[in-house]
């Protein structure tokens, strides 16, 4: 499979522990758009993930700690983030797999991106899990590239957009939806 982003993520090693990142390996998702009285429309997307789903900057940590946590790709390097890792491992696949459902709110995220939002409840607390992504064609393949994924304390802004509107525009060769100004 030839894609334009990382397709297989090597595990991260830290203090004798291995953190498996295979949940972020490239994969195919088929979304089915069903409308009453109309035939179903199938959209097949190849999904890839940025390492921003499990790494972040830690300017407050000392250089030794930052270096011990460093994860490198061909493009850049950042320290591994255990919080982002756990969130991605436990929730990211479900969110991406359900982009066309009412359970996942999709909005404009700026910089020609969209974002999926979901409230995650854990031990009585809740927060928004913000998942920005880009949608495009690459070598005749429909692509979703998740550029980051991280928790937020409050609901993020951004005008709502239907995932199937995005998919339809991509399939029809039309301009992708932009936020209203």
In a domain, 180, yes or no: no
pLDDT of residue 121: 73
Domain count for the chain, please give it: 1
Local confidence pLDDT in tens for the 181 residues of the chain:
677 898 999 999 999 999 999 999 999 999 999 999 999 999 999 999 999 999 998 888 888 988 999 999 888 899 999 999 999 999 999 999 999 999 899 999 987 899 988 877 767 677 889 999 999 999 999 999 999 999 998 888 888 999 999 999 999 999 999 886 5
In a domain, 1, yes or no: no
In a domain, 73, yes or no: yes
User: Model-level pTM?
Assistant: 0.92
In a domain, 163, yes or no: yes
Q: For residues 104-136, b (16+ Cβ closer than 10 Å) or e, as one string? A: bbbbbbeeebbbbbbeeeeeeeebbbbbbbbbe
- Which range marks the domain in which residue 55 is found? 12-172
In a domain, 76, yes or no: yes
In a domain, 31, yes or no: yes
In a domain, 82, yes or no: yes
In a domain, 154, yes or no: yes
């Amino acid at each position: 499979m030839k894609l334009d982003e990382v397709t297989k993520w090597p595990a991260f090693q830290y203090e004798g522990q291995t953190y498996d990142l295979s949940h972020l390996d490239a994969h195919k998702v088929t979304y089915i758009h069903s409308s009453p009285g109309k035939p179903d429309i199938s959209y097949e997307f190849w999904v890839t993930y940025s390492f921003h789903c499990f790494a972040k900057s830690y300017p407050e940590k000392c250089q030794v700690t930052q270096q011990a946590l460093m994860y490198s790709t061909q493009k850049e390097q950042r320290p591994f983030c255990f919080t982002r890792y756990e969130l991605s491992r436990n929730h990211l696949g479900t969110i991406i797999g359900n982009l066309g459902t009412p359970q996942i709110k999709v909005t404009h995220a700026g910089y020609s991106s969209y974002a999926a939002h979901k409230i995650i409840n854990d031990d009585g607390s809740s927060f928004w899990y913000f998942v920005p992504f880009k949608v495009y064609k690459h070598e005749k393949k429909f692509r979703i590239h998740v550029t980051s994924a991280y928790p937020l304390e409050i609901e993020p802004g951004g005008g709502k957009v239907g995932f199937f509107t995005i998919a339809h525009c991509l399939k029809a060769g039309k301009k992708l939806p932009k936020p209203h100004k």
